[in-house]
Amino acid sequence: MRKIYLTLFSFLSFGWAAWAQDNSILDSAAIYNMTLEQLMNIKSSGVSSELESLINSLIGVASKKPMSSRKSPSIVTLITQEEIEKSGARDLIDVLSLVPGINFASDVAGVVGIGMRGNWANEGKVLVLLDGQEMNEIMYSTLQFGNHFDVSQIKRIEVIRGPGSAIYGGYAEYGVISIITKSGEDLNGISANVSYGQMTKSYGERDVTVSAGKKIGDFMFSLAGFIGQGQRSDLTYNDFVGNHYPMNGNSALNPGTINLGMSYKDWSLRAIYDDYQTTTRDNYGTALSQAYPDDFKSGYFELKYKGKINDKLTITPKFNYLAQLPWNFAAAPAPQDAAYTTYNELAQRTKGNITLSYDATSKINIIAGVEAFTDKATILGLDTTHFDNGSRTISYFNSAAFFQALVKSKIAYLTVGARFDNNSSYGSSFVPRLGITKKIEKWNFKLLYSEAFRAPGIDDINYSLPPGTIKPETTQTIELETGYQPGANSYITVNLFDITTFNPIIYSVDTVVINKVAYSGDAYTNQKQSGSIGIETDYRIRSTWGYLDFNYAYYTTAGKDDVPVYQVPANTNMTLAFPANKFNLSANFNLGKSFSIAPTASLLGRRYGYDPSEPASENYLKEYPPLLLANIFITWNNCITKGLKIGLGCYNMLNSEDLYIQPYNGGHPPLPGPTREFVARITYNLNAKK
């Protein structure tokens, strides 16, 4: 690790005076004939390149107060609509896999979740926001990936590759992924998108999106409908007891989403219905005799008013309601499938939030607010279980207060913030943060300290051991980043992170000993410590020919991981499922005005997981060799007629065995991913007059 620090310090030290400015536009007479719009895109030192516009574009996710990504108090990745479209990404897995530090792994029941910087993060440690709505289900706080979120409607994705709890609360311990879809103004008409993917033996996905939107004076609306069918893989799943079955036909990923956004002057409304229908036969590891539905239904509603009291003070009250049926196993199982467990629970959250933003001066902004929500869960239908209060209904109340001060001093930008939460079940959490950011011409620096927490989900509390004792886990993170812009068209960042999680909430299927008392069965317990340290670097080039983004991520547990189910006995520096080294490449080359060709690739270093193909004497632990996933996508814009776009490509060109390994020793063999897949996409935009 010392070598990493030395490398970064050397990088920081050289070339302090290596900045040069492009003043050509300011020296020319052309400037006298420019319009105001054109003038406002000129820096005091010249015209911004496309890359400069990108890296200096305002990011809202990191601080609630939009700031340029180079100064925002978080390690941030911005993904644009152009990058998503040109890469031909099939779903959010394809998009986020190219972000440094993000990997995907298998949970249970066919669900694939997210890992962040070498840590399993799918249960309440990464928050996904879709147009501001929290997409984590609230029973276990999990996320579900794979032909779920409609990438064709995404305008941009802002990713915090670090903690965000001081702003967002208990799901943002390791990261925040904020997905912003196209607004009515962006759509300005009607759009349709059809995509089809063909794997070796079966289709991968066949999806359709229809959307419409328009801005009419102060009123704006957008409405998008997404429906489709997909399959996780067409390989064979093998469990530990010798059962096997083909994934095609047994791993459905069928999305159905309606997303409505409306705004009028200072009012805005968002309503999302998300009906993600999947099937599972892998269950908790041992294969069932047939595939069963495992559905995730959710409804989200938000009403927000942004009231400008005066020139300095803005008050934003917000009301949210969500209802979810997550992990919905409501089928009648076949007699031979005794392991099938019915789960049929309705979760509801009703939330109110008031946020004040005060510009004390042009250099000082203060944000403060309060939030309260009630979580209620009800056991339905065939599910015969009850909560630990003996009832089939349970509810919790959570209140929170948060604060953030942003000071733009001449020495540096300083962000100080904190959030306090109190829950009627598991008590209080207090998470402060401190961010110092500085931009010096072509350089930028960030020094960030954040505490964060994971709030236990409703069933984390219900299934806690010893009963009723589960507490929030807490995380301390230190991050350092430096960015350097060698020229107008290129930019490199290097960052270090040091994550320590205390009392992590761990799901166990084996016996757990706590305070010398042994507990067995499926349970959630607070264990001692986990975490990682590492380095990430990202190099971007953008010019008229296209763009190239190359990044690398490394982590090591560095002795922080005391959680047995995460550990790799053969390599104590790594956690299960996640490669210590990963390289990503994302490029696009413009071929004339209409064509572009976009290669993307990920090279994952060796990984570890438990696999039934290994002899029992080795406890099934297997080392998986490095994996190269290479893809290509060609786009033809304005094909035949204006607004028509056709894309063709191939994902996993080398037909590598892409496996989602379980990141904890939970008795589940790796879940196969897609084989080589040929993808075709047609998009048509019929724009209205502005």
Partner 1 sequence: MKKTARLIFLLLLLTGLASVHSPAQSLNYKLESVFIYNFTKYIDWPADKQTGIFIIGVFGQSPLTDELGKFVTTKKVGELSIVVKVISNMADVAQCHIIYVPVEQNGKLWEISAACKGKPTLIVTEKPGMITRGAGISIFLDEDDDYKTKFELNKTAITSNGMLVSSNLLNLAYKLIK
Enumerate binding residues for partner 1 (CB under 8 A).
1-2, 5, 9, 12, 16, 26, 31-32, 34-37, 39-45, 48, 52-53, 56, 58, 67-68, 71, 311, 361-362, 408, 410-412, 436, 438-441, 445, 447, 478, 480, 498
Could you tell me where the beta strands, DSSP code E, fall in 329-392?
345-361, 364-379
Minimum CB distance to partner 1, residue 480 (Å) = 7
Minimum CB distance to partner 1, residue 36 (Å) = 5
Written as six digits, the tokens of 493 are 């960042």
Written as six digits, the tokens of 412 are 């540096």
How many Å apart are CA 526 and CA 60, to the nearest integer?
33
Instruction: Give the nearer residue to partner 1 in terms of CB position, either 70 or 607.
Output: 70
Instruction: Give the nearer residue to partner 1 in terms of CB position, either 468 or 487.
Output: 487
Instruction: Give the nearer residue to partner 1 in terms of CB position, either 208 or 447.
Output: 447
How many Å apart are CA 207 and CA 212, to the nearest integer?
17
Instruction: Give the nearer residue to partner 1 in terms of CB position, either 410 or 689.
Output: 410
Minimum CB distance to partner 1, residue 591 (Å) = 30
> Within 10 Å of residue 355's Cβ, how many Cβ atoms?
19
Q: Which of 184, 277, 183 is CA-nearest to residue 227?
A: 277
> Within 10 Å of residue 48's Cβ, how many Cβ atoms?
17
- CA angle at residue 222 from 133 to 687, to 5 degrees? 145
How many Å apart are CA 620 and CA 623, to the nearest integer?
10
Minimum CB distance to partner 1, residue 232 (Å) = 42
> Within 10 Å of residue 583's Cβ, how many Cβ atoms?
17
Kindly list the distances between the CA atom of residue 105 and the CA atoms of 61, 120, 608, 643, in Å, as whole numbers in the listed order.
25, 8, 12, 37
Minimum CB distance to partner 1, residue 432 (Å) = 17
Minimum CB distance to partner 1, residue 360 (Å) = 12
Minimum CB distance to partner 1, residue 172 (Å) = 23
What are the start-end ranges of the H helices in 128-285? 165-168, 184-187
**Residue-wise burial string across 174-193, b where 16 or more C-beta atoms lie within 10 A, e elsewhere:** bbbbbbbbbbbebbbbbbeb
Minimum CB distance to partner 1, residue 187 (Å) = 20
Instruction: Give the nearer residue to partner 1 in terms of CB position, either 370 or 412.
Output: 412
Instruction: Give the nearer residue to partner 1 in terms of CB position, either 556 or 662.
Output: 556
Instruction: Give the nearer residue to partner 1 in terms of CB position, either 442 or 582.
Output: 442
Instruction: Give the nearer residue to partner 1 in terms of CB position, either 402 or 445.
Output: 445
Number of H helices and number of E strands within the chain?
9, 46
Maximum separation of any 2 CA atoms in the chain, in Å: 83
Return the bridge partners of 382, or none. Answer: none
Q: Which residues contact 203 (CB under 8 A, 6 or more apart)?
A: 196, 197, 229, 230, 231
Instruction: Give the nearer residue to partner 1 in terms of CB position, either 29 or 640.
Output: 29
Minimum CB distance to partner 1, residue 55 (Å) = 9
Minimum CB distance to partner 1, residue 689 (Å) = 18
- The DSSP code sequence of 192-219 is EEEEEEE-SSSEEEEEEEEEEEEEETTE
Written as six digits, the tokens of 272 are 């999302």
Instruction: Give the nearer residue to partner 1 in terms of CB position, either 43 or 376.
Output: 43
Instruction: Give the nearer residue to partner 1 in terms of CB position, either 267 or 583.
Output: 267
Bridge-based pairing state of the strands 523-526 and 505-508: antiparallel
How many Å apart are CA 453 and CA 174, to the nearest integer?
9
Instruction: Give the nearer residue to partner 1 in terms of CB position, either 280 or 404.
Output: 404
Minimum CB distance to partner 1, residue 56 (Å) = 4
Instruction: Give the nearer residue to partner 1 in terms of CB position, either 427 or 487.
Output: 487
According to DSSP, residue 455 is labeled P
> Within 10 Å of residue 334's Cβ, how many Cβ atoms?
12
SS3 31: helix
How many Å apart are CA 402 and CA 687, to the nearest integer?
42
Bridge-based pairing state of the strands 644-651 and 627-636: antiparallel
Q: Which residues contact 366 (CB under 8 A, 6 or more apart)?
A: 356, 357, 358, 360, 403, 404, 405, 406
Instruction: Give the nearer residue to partner 1 in terms of CB position, either 48 or 348.
Output: 48
Are the CB atoms for 496 and 4 separated by under 8 Å? Answer: yes
Instruction: Give the nearer residue to partner 1 in terms of CB position, either 9 or 545.
Output: 9
How many Å apart are CA 558 and CA 165, to the nearest integer?
24
Minimum CB distance to partner 1, residue 661 (Å) = 30
Minimum CB distance to partner 1, residue 171 (Å) = 28
CA 452 to chain centroid: 17
Minimum CB distance to partner 1, residue 316 (Å) = 18
According to DSSP, residue 459 is labeled H
- The DSSP code sequence of 42-67 is EETTEEPPHHHHHHTSEE-TTTSS-E
Minimum CB distance to partner 1, residue 5 (Å) = 5
